[in-house]
Copies of this chain bind each other. A is one copy, B any other.
Amino acid sequence: MDSPRKRTSTAQPRAPADHAERFRRVRDAHQSETAEDYVEIIAELIGEKGEARLVDLAECFGVTKATVNNTIQRLQRDGFVTSEPYRAIFLTDKGRKLAAASRERHLVVRDLLISLGIDPETAEADAEGIEHHVSKTTLEAFRRHLAKQRRPRD
């Protein structure tokens, strides 16, 4: 007598306090967040050093190797990476796709912040959190704004 998951989905005339759906989306974003950051960094490491080792990830995220190990197992379970005991970590196709999209979005968010006059250091830091909450629509708007900036008078 309590399950809050269903929502009539009939696109009602504007429910009073329709906060719930928004908060649900934020919670969803938090779920995807770890995967997005991991595959992005893994792709980066593979690009830079040829392979992604657990110890590099630990250093990169500022967590212990044990934590990374757990996370990698979850990512493997969810089909983003493959890895055999004591070996490097690889991306699946699904992982590579997510990595590419995440990287793109990350850069757009960072550049947008910079375009608003924020210093690159802060922009990079804030982008790391903001990126996961930027919808397709908003990302598009960010891209448009950047394009406009680049050629002010067209």
Contact = CB atoms under 8 A, between A and B. Distances in A.
Interface in A41-99: 41, 58-66
A128 to B, nearest CB: 5
Given A17-B60, A142-B116, A2 B128 contact: no
The quantity of this chain's copies bound in the complex is 2
Interface in A127-153: 128-130, 132-135, 137-138, 141-142, 144-145
A134 B128 contact: no
A26 interface: yes
A24 B135 contact: no
A13 interface: no
A113 interface: yes
Given A30-B30, A128-B26, A141-B116, A20 B134 contact: no
A140 to B, nearest CB: 9
Interface in A99-144: 113, 116-119, 122-126, 128-130, 132-135, 137-138, 141-142, 144
Interface of A: 2-5, 17, 19-26, 29-30, 37, 41, 58-66, 113, 116-119, 122-126, 128-130, 132-135, 137-138, 141-142, 144-145
